[in-house]
């Protein structure tokens, strides 16, 4: 069974993105093991002369390295991902590179009708950067709009059509992960290039 790391892209105590990932963990428990990871314990990213990386970031990186894939749930603030998620991804590409060629599924929930669509588009660009080099599942947006009303009293999604869409996308992700395991011929070179990328040239 595949093991996935699910990153909660928010530091809100009542995040519907966390609720979405908790639902996925329960709903897909027969298909994969999903471990939720919080980024609230990470400090805001800051470069240093000795390239210090907090132990919290190193621990998350190790979990990602040992996983078969990553699921990220992002809210949308001002048409972009939250600063806390951007900062976490910066730490996870600063001298450590757990995302290189790692299969990633992007999801997102928002209170409005768009379901974090612009934030997801931005997140794709960030994950595709030379420092991260993740392998993002194509054509796979899962946009949970009006998320405050999306779950019932048992924390299950209420809309059957939305559930069917998520089921289909998760099945695609499982196949994407299996295919990705066969596409690692350039992994060593990709990791080397990520490691050689210099933050001091910005």
CATH number reported for the structural domain that contains residue 80 in this entry:
3.40.50.360
Residue 196 binned pLDDT confidence (cut-offs 50, 70, 90) = confident
93 lies in which domain range? 2-201
What is the torsional sign of CA 103, 97, 56, 88?
negative
Token pair recorded at residue 156: 């299950």
The answer for residues whose C-beta is within 8 angstroms of residue 75's C-beta and 6 or more apart is 9, 10, 12, 15, 16, 17, 81, 82, 108, 109, 110, 116, 119
Tens digit of pLDDT for each residue in 71-100? 999 998 888 899 999 999 999 999 999 999
Question: Contact, 54 vs 96, CB < 8 A?
Answer: no
| CB count in 10 Å sphere of residue 202 | 5
pLDDT, mean over the chain: 92
CA 16 to chain centre: 15
For the chain, the domain total comes to 1
pLDDT at position 183? 84
Strand residues in 39-189 grouped as ranges (E):
69-73, 103-109, 135-136, 142-144
């Amino acid at each position: 069974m595949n093991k996935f790391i699910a990153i909660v892209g928010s530091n809100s105590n009542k995040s519907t993105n966390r609720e979405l990932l908790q639902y996925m963990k329960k709903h897909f428990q027969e298909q994969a093991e999903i471990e939720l990871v919080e980024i609230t314990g990470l400090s805001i990213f800051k470069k240093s002369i000795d390239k210090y990386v907090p132990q919290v970031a190193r621990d998350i990186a190790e979990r990602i390295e040992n996983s078969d894939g990553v699921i990220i749930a992002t809210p949308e603030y001002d048409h972009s991902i939250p600063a806390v998620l951007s900062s976490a991804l910066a730490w996870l590409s600063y001298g450590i590179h757990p995302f290189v060629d790692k299969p990633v599924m992007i999801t997102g929930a928002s209170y409005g009708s768009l379901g974090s669509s612009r934030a997801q588009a931005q997140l794709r660009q960030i994950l595709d950067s030379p420092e991260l080099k993740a392998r993002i599942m194509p054509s796979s947006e899962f946009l949970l709009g009006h998320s405050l009303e999306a779950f019932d009293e048992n924390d299950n999604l209420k809309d059957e059509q939305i559930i069917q869409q998520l089921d289909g996308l998760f099945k695609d992700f499982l196949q994407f992960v299996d295919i990705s395991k066969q596409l690692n011929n350039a992994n060593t070179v990709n990791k080397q290039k990520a490691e050689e990328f210099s933050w001091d040239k910005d």
